[in-house]
Structure 1
Amino acid sequence: MQKWIDIPPVWLAAFAAIAWWQSAYHPMGLGFGGAWADFAGGLLVGGGLVLVALAFAEFRRHKTTVIPHQEADRLIQTGIFRRSRNPIYLADVLILAGLILRWDAVLSLPLVPILLWVLENRFVIPEEDRLRRKFRAEFARYCQKTRRWV
């Protein structure tokens, strides 16, 4: 049960719930200022969803797992993975930032770098360690040509 709770969407949902709660119950009279924040927030959420869809398509095409704590069968270096080694985690951060903008949750802005830190330490580093052990030279070449985030 714990391995199903400790997955990135659960962390994203928890951070989003905190941001929504802060916006709904403790706005403190602060706001980002209208339509531009809604538009920018929508772009960030939409962009994050597109990244997730592109990454899932690559996982499906290569027939390997998308579950963070499982062993990968293949090292994906095509599609969106040519631009970022971690597009789904990047998408999670974009989605949270977008929701915070849309909800005018100004005081929740620190959640964005905190989520980034959690994702990197709980998922990215352990995943990359597993990939490094399994794919050795291939993963080293991939790391040289593709950045971790953007």
Structure 2
Amino acid sequence: MRRLLWLPPPGVVVLIAGLMWLVRRWSGGLAFAGQGWVALLVLAAGLALMAAAAWQLARAHTTVLPFHPEQASHLVTTGIFRRSRNPIYLGDLLLLLAWALWLGSLFNLLLLGLFVLYMNRVQIAAEERALARKFGPAYLGYCARVRRWL
């Protein structure tokens, strides 16, 4: 199978984070009491979610990398994957939310939507097609029970 993406998910996260920084420079920001602590808590939640998902995938001896989903050896549907089909991408979203909170720019919330739109339309859609071909009815049943994000 050919490579799915022209820009892999970590690159998308870095690109959106850079755009957020530019938006903050051009638009100014807001500050609120505890802003840094809230951002750090959201960051920690995102990192914990990503680590839990990566640990579960590694424990199942299947790929963590999104570039070739057809190389997945097991369909993981337990643990955090019972709540989200894409917990690593959800973790990425939390990292970007933490960055938006840290920067204090309301305009950056629009860029979170851009991240979700890109991931749904490009990355996740391609992964879902590959996983449906690989795991068939088991994957389709999983999709019917578990949401993409939360």
**Structure 2 residue 22 is matched with structure 1 residue 21:** yes
Instruction: Note the alpha carbon deviations across 1:103-150, whole angstroms, 9 max, x for none.
Output: 112222210000001111121111111111111111122122211111
2:108 counterpart residue number = 108
1:74 counterpart residue number = 74
* Distance in 2 of aligned mates of 1:106 and 1:145: 34
1:127 counterpart residue number = 127
* Distance in 1 of aligned mates of 2:5 and 2:147: 28
SS for the counterpart of 2:107 is helix
2:33 counterpart residue number = 35
Q: Give the C-alpha shift of residue 40 in structure 1.
A: 2.6
- Seq. identity, %: 34
2:55 counterpart residue number = 57
Compute the TM-score of the two structures, normalised by the length of structure 2: 0.88
Task: Name the aligned partner's letter for residue 14 of structure 2.
Answer: A
Compute the TM-score of the two structures, normalised by the length of structure 1: 0.88
Task: Name the aligned partner's letter for residue 14 of structure 1.
Answer: L
Q: Give the C-alpha shift of residue 88 in structure 1.
A: 0.8
Q: Which residues of structure 2 form unaligned runs of 5+?
A: none
Misfit runs of 4+, over 4 Å: 2-5
Q: Give the C-alpha shift of residue 3 in structure 1.
A: 7.1
Aligned length: 146
Q: Which residues of structure 1 form unaligned runs of 5+?
A: none
Q: Give the C-alpha shift of residue 4 in structure 1.
A: 8.4
* Distance in 1 of aligned mates of 2:128 and 2:47: 23
Task: Name the aligned partner's letter for residue 75 of structure 1.
Answer: L
Paired residues of 1:20 and 1:105 also in contact (CA < 8 A): no
1:44 counterpart residue number = 42
* Distance in 1 of aligned mates of 2:125 and 2:38: 30
